[in-house]
Chains A and B, each alone.
With several copies, the nearest count.
Chain A
């Protein structure tokens, strides 16, 4: 099974990278971008076959390692 994990900054946390991307796109002549945010995208190849178990396991991985829950949120998609 494959897990796709998205780690994004919490609402209200400064996102310098996103801000810089917004700026650069504007400078390059790409109009019409109101906001940009940058996060992490992590893919895991799992041996697990049980969805519910996998979800729980990946959730624990996110809490304990992949996301910094003081400033980041995460979401998980299993495929």
Chain B
């Protein structure tokens, strides 16, 4: 085996590591000498966009992250909020876009594995998974294969680990043809006095490696493809990792068992850039140094170099700092779960990451230079031009337009997807997929968590600021619609190339909007992830800042669902419908246009209407509720009718044209159903509170009809809604 550290660092090698000249000069000055090959590799991953957030950090700092119930905001593996009674919800969302495009099954599976580790690292038992997916247009030759692989991968991992996948969102749009988005979110529960952080402490304390062995998986960079440092150069090393959910399950149980003792000082999962970024992060947070003996790293393959061990992204591994003398006890736990356990180093007071291998020092870098000296760019940006309001035509055939929307790719039932996910394991899922938010009981209590992921990329593209607001507001509304109080969000910011000013403008605009909504709704950001460079051949995806919201319900028996429950109930529309068809789904899908300003998000009205609706549910006045979003009023009515297995007879009185009333995507609106007396009370209460309200119809029958102009048999509507996805997926693979 060649000693990789003898390789001379040339400008080409620097470039292959994704570092520019100026960045390389910074490294040399930080170290006071030229880095060797291993050190260069470590700098390159630590300073990558993914680890250093160099293009986004400046703007992320402006987001609101605090509230009295926030225990831990961004900066740790996941965010932590107080949900009362000494309990905390811990959650985060992360992207696995590029790997999922290359190998949809394993890419999506390892995405789920990674986000689970972020959450149980902090001491939480994961209780729910969500997934936000964007695929190319249905007719694109790759789409079907990607949908099928991604869904199978998410299910394959989550089902095996035994954490229910309770919801998500799925969109199809041409802008994702060459770059799909797979964002996964995990929510976990812990006791507030049993939360674990990653800051290392205590000079001399052991650094311990647990989990799977290290292989040459996912090693960064084109450098590896040349494979000149090892014997087995006959095949190009795959950069795709294979997930092992069985090991993950064991790792969860073993970590939680050890966490119940007092042995752990700090713990961190090995995510992107594996051993390197986990040790650097732990050392940096704790203001200490790490000395690692790489000979002790459990290895899956022969002759691994220090470079490979440091950069491997093998899955299902964790790094811990233990209290001295607890090694044997900890080892016994990991052995019981048949997992590797190795003491691979100790904490030093040098402030350096020192790597030893075969008795020699093969790397020696100042920790703070790896973190604090990382470049931060304030990239130039231009805001997206504002659009004027659009005049949006009526459809040729109203009934057909409704059927096409409800039975089309973006509003059809996602049952084909979520029936492949075990959404009930753990026995606490009381609102399964298909509603506004998933609801999972806090085990053994009356409380429940409500979770929703949302973003409307059409709006973010048309007006990033409104789109950013709307994404946050929609999760808030979905959580409200089941009767829970929204508390905080995580996010996954998927954008194109930040070096293009118009993309950076989308990013900045969306973040401004998100920040405004978080502040207005008391709904801070506690964790998140940024995924940039989502583009192929120079064409970027639509800006897609996916938001994952979490709320709490005190009494889970009061929960509302979208299904109409009894015939003869009054249907009440809360909130004002305006002429807002710009950038609507109707405009895009039925008319094939994308023009005009998207709906305006008035955050005060959002809050007022939402608080009103939540109170109705909490008071027990209402148990049927649905918010209005894509597709407008008619889409919400259809969802409620299909879900309840009964029709509705609706009469709209308005100055707006009928198609506007039906398809407008005005914000801050909800539909509720209740018996006639209750509905009348609700109407009065809303009026008194200055909230636009109207009793618009009655549940029941086997037809969905509006003003006699829309009239569709429930059987036909249901078949269209349930049929699209399975029919699409059943079609021949190209």
Q: Do chains A and B touch in the complex (CB under 8 A)?
A: yes
The interface size of chain B toward A, counting residues with CB under 8 Å, comes to 26
Q: Which of B217, B232, B237, B244 contacts A16 (CB 8 A)?
A: B244
CA distance A14 to B300 in the complex (A): 9
CA distance A16 to B103 in the complex (A): 17
B240–A70 CB distance below 8 A: yes
Within 8 Å of chain B (Cβ to Cβ): is A71? yes
- Report B230-274 CB contacts with A as 1/0, cut-off 8 Å: 001001011011101011000000000000000000000000000
Within 8 Å of chain A (Cβ to Cβ): is B351? no
Question: What residue of chain B has the Cβ atom nearest to residue A16's Cβ?
Answer: B244
- Report A1-31 CB contacts with B as 1/0, cut-off 8 Å: 0000000011111111000100110011000
Q: How far is the CB of A40 from chain B (nearest CB, A)?
A: 14
CA distance A71 to B732 in the complex (A): 24
A24-B733, A70-B103 known; A14-B215 Cβ under 8 A: yes
Residues of B within 8 A of A71 (CB): 103, 106, 238, 240, 242
Q: How far is the CB of B509 from chain A (nearest CB, A)?
A: 36
Residues of A within 8 A of B734 (CB): 28
B242–A13 CB distance below 8 A: yes
CA distance A15 to B314 in the complex (A): 12
Within 8 Å of chain A (Cβ to Cβ): is B423? no
Q: How far is the CB of B221 from chain A (nearest CB, A)?
A: 16
Within 8 Å of chain A (Cβ to Cβ): is B203? no
Instruction: List which B484-513 residues lie within 8 A (CB) of chain A.
Output: none
Within 8 Å of chain A (Cβ to Cβ): is B338? yes
CA distance A64 to B235 in the complex (A): 19
Residues of B within 8 A of A23 (CB): 338
A24-B733, A27-B732 known; A12-B242 Cβ under 8 A: no
CA distance A73 to B315 in the complex (A): 22
A20-B246, A68-B103, A70-B103 known; A14-B732 Cβ under 8 A: no
Q: How far is the CB of B501 from chain A (nearest CB, A)?
A: 35
Within 8 Å of chain A (Cβ to Cβ): is B385? no
A10–B106 CB distance below 8 A: no
Within 8 Å of chain A (Cβ to Cβ): is B469? no
Q: How far is the CB of B590 from chain A (nearest CB, A)?
A: 31
Within 8 Å of chain A (Cβ to Cβ): is B397? no
Q: Which of A13, A16, A27, A70 contacts B733 (CB 8 A)?
A: A27
Within 8 Å of chain A (Cβ to Cβ): is B222? no
Residues of A within 8 A of B315 (CB): 14
Residues of B within 8 A of A13 (CB): 217, 238, 242
A28–B733 CB distance below 8 A: yes
B238–A12 CB distance below 8 A: yes
Within 8 Å of chain A (Cβ to Cβ): is B655? no
Q: Which of A11, A15, A16, A73 contacts B246 (CB 8 A)?
A: A16
A10, A14, A70, A73 — most chain B CB neighbours (10 Å):
A14
CA distance A12 to B734 in the complex (A): 31
CA distance A70 to B238 in the complex (A): 7
Within 8 Å of chain A (Cβ to Cβ): is B301? yes
Interface SS majority for chain B: loop
Q: Which of A9, A11, A70 contacts B232 (CB 8 A)?
A: A11
A27-B732, A71-B103 known; A14-B314 Cβ under 8 A: yes
Residues of A within 8 A of B300 (CB): 14
A14–B244 CB distance below 8 A: yes
CA distance A23 to B240 in the complex (A): 25
Within 8 Å of chain A (Cβ to Cβ): is B102? yes
Question: What residue of chain A has the Cβ atom nearest to residue B230's Cβ?
Answer: A12
Residues of B within 8 A of A9 (CB): 242
Residues of B within 8 A of A16 (CB): 242, 244, 246-247
Residues of B within 8 A of A12 (CB): 215-217, 232, 237-238, 301
Instruction: List which B719-734 residues lie within 8 A (CB) of chain A.
Output: 732-734
CA distance A3 to B560 in the complex (A): 57
Question: What residue of chain A has the Cβ atom nearest to residue B107's Cβ?
Answer: A70
Q: How far is the CB of B156 from chain A (nearest CB, A)?
A: 11
CA distance A48 to B289 in the complex (A): 48
Residues of A within 8 A of B301 (CB): 12
CA distance A23 to B300 in the complex (A): 15
CA distance A23 to B732 in the complex (A): 9
CA distance A20 to B733 in the complex (A): 12
Q: How far is the CB of B70 from chain A (nearest CB, A)?
A: 37
CA distance A66 to B216 in the complex (A): 25
A23-B338, A24-B733, A27-B733 known; A14-B103 Cβ under 8 A: no
CA distance A51 to B454 in the complex (A): 55
Residues of A within 8 A of B314 (CB): 14
Q: How far is the CB of A37 from chain B (nearest CB, A)?
A: 13
Residues of A within 8 A of B102 (CB): 70
A24-B733, A70-B103, A71-B103 known; A14-B242 Cβ under 8 A: yes
Residues of A within 8 A of B246 (CB): 16, 20
Q: Which of B217, B232, B237, B733 contacts A14 (CB 8 A)?
A: B217
CA distance A16 to B248 in the complex (A): 11
- Report B101-113 CB contacts with A as 1/0, cut-off 8 Å: 0110110000000
Instruction: List which A22-77 residues lie within 8 A (CB) of chain B.
Output: 23-24, 27-28, 68, 70-71, 73
Cross-chain pairs A/B with CB under 8 angstroms, 8 sampled: A13-B242, A14-B242, A15-B242, A16-B247, A27-B732, A70-B238, A71-B103, A71-B238
Residues of A within 8 A of B (CB): 9-16, 20, 23-24, 27-28, 68, 70-71, 73
Q: A23-B338, A73-B235 are in contact. List 8 more A-B contacts (CB 8 A).
A: A11-B232, A12-B238, A12-B301, A14-B215, A14-B314, A16-B242, A27-B733, A71-B242
- Enumerate the 6 nearest inter-chain pairs by beta-carbon distance, A residue then B residue, closest first: A27-B732, A16-B244, A14-B242, A70-B103, A12-B216, A71-B238
